[in-house]
Amino acid sequence: MIANSEIEMDIKLLSPNNFPDYELIDAGNFEKLERFGQFTLIRPEPQAIWNRKLPEAQWLKLAHAKFKREVQKRSYRSGDSENGGWTKLKPMPDNWNISYTLPTGNFKLKLALTTFGHLGVFPEQAQNWDYMYHQLTQPKFKNAKILNAFAYTGAASLAACIAGADVTHLDAVKQVVNWNKENSDLSELDNIRRIVDDAPKFLRREAKRGKVYQGIIIDPPAYGRGPEGEKWILEEGINELLDLCSQLIDKNNFFFILNLYSLGYSSLIASNLVDSYFEHSQKEAGEFYLKANSGVVLPLGTFVRISK
């Protein structure tokens, strides 16, 4: 349908050297052992179906807290409540801060022991923060307008802000949009427009208004609910979502990032979806993963990144 350059499959690895405040220590037996700043945590990981490399006694010796799900689900969203609980194995606070450094500045992220097991950051996404920063510091992207949809607590929004972009931060969950404001204040950054809305509804309105963005990043969940109970199912809504993004993107000068976390959706599927709606001159697609200190490799979602 649309002629595009041949796909370049590129599996990305997040090196701990690029993110000193994060470390994957080990993963296995459906759990992962991670360090965030000065605190080490055990959390569920449905893709870690192999046996852990390190003995359980070492996990428990290192960990400050462990999260256990009360009800098993395929996936979780940030607005879910009472999905599990934390057991503190050593003294630690419920909230603390970490930071991430880019060439011209750094941003801070508040982390929290939430009832749904998330902490406020997805470390593998640091690859996208670096990618966005590199794009936005090119002269052609000076004063670019960026849309971060399904934006969560918004580390990508902060990275774009440091690079000088005018950022729209969109999420359906008010608490994580407010969390982004806390992160922005901690980082002493502004120039972020925050919207609490259902993503497809907002994008439809933006398309009718004739709005144009030079960069869009979308991170849709497998399923979820909007602020007014709007139902979202990835396979039912992803084509409309990409169509709307293609209407909003600057046709001559842009970058676009699609992340998919749903089990069973390969990077080739994501690549085919993007090719259906966008003309581009450069593309990379593949799988984000983290390599643990123990040597095990943990896959954490697929991506497609294009630019023109």
| Number of DSSP helices (H) and strands (E) in the chain, helices first | 7, 17
Q: Write a three-state SS string for 117-134.
A: CCCCCCHHHHHHHHHHHH
Give the mean pLDDT per block of 10 residues along the chain (308 residues).
48 68 97 98 95 98 92 46 80 98 96 94 94 96 96 97 97 96 96 95 97 97 79 89 98 96 81 95 91 94 94
Distance (Å, whole) CA 289 – CA 292: 10
By C-alpha distance, which of 18, 200, 218 is closest to 100? 18
The pLDDT of residue 74 is 46
- How is residue 196 written in tokens? 């609490």
Helix (H) / strand (E) element for 246: namely helix 234-248
Handedness of CA 260, 265, 271, 276 (dihedral sign): negative
Task: With beta carbons less than 8 A apart as the criterion, state whether 294 and 254 touch.
Answer: no
Residue 191 — left, alpha, or beta (φ > 0 → left; ψ -120 to 50 → alpha)? left
Give the pair of three-digit tokens for residue 272: 């085919």
Q: What is the pLDDT of residue 76?
A: 42
Helices 234-248 and 199-209: crossing angle, nearest 10°?
20
| Both tokens assigned to 294 | 């123990």
Residues in the chain: 308
Angle between helices 155-162 and 126-136 (to 10 degrees): 30
Helix (H) or strand (E) holding 225: strand 223-225
Which residues contact residue 35 at a Cβ distance below 8 angstroms, ignoring those fewer than 6 apart?
22, 23, 25, 41
Ordered domains of the chain (ranges, CATH): 122-307 (3.40.50.150)
Among residues 172, 175, 179, 177, the alpha carbon closest in space to that of 200 is found at: 172
One-character DSSP codes across 18-66: G-TTEEEEEEETTEEEEEETTEEEEEE-TT--S--SS-HHHHHHH-SEE
Q: Residue 266: what pLDDT? A: 87
Q: Which one, of 140, 205, 137, 139, lies nearest residue 168 by Cα?
A: 205
